[in-house]
Amino acid sequence: MEPQWLQGRNEYFANILSYLDNNDERRSVAGQVSALIEFDESIEFAGISGKYGLVDLRYSNQSWENSGPVHVTLLKDKIDTINEKIKESSRWMESHAFYEVVIDT
């Protein structure tokens, strides 16, 4: 499978800027935190372009570790709270993405 948002690439690199409470009562306590990220370059997807994104844990019993499956949402602009994520400036891109912590030395 070649997800459209990857545009033929294998991966994107991003930095975690902060963690945001996502107010999702359906998830476990660990799953109620989204990672706000800044991609290494802008992504164009489904009518918007942006360098920021939200990464959410895939499973309710999952916790943030060094790697794992996640949902990825593209953001047109950087946000400070989850309430700033609006349909007009965000696009859900992937439900089966995989993150891995890489330390740049």
Q: What is the pLDDT of residue 31?
A: 54
What would the mean pLDDT of 27-51 be, rounded to a whole number?
86
Q: What is the pLDDT of residue 26?
A: 53
Q: What is the pLDDT of residue 27?
A: 52
Mean pLDDT of the chain: 89
* Cα distance between residue 14 and residue 34, in whole Å: 14
Cβ neighbours, 10 Å, residue 39: 17
Q: What is the pLDDT of residue 66?
A: 94
Write the pLDDT tens digit of every residue in 22-31.
876 555 545 5
Write the pLDDT tens digit of every residue in 53-93.
999 999 878 888 999 999 999 999 999 999 999 999 999 99
Domain ranges of the chain: 8-100
Q: What is the pLDDT of residue 62?
A: 85
Quote the pTM value: 0.87
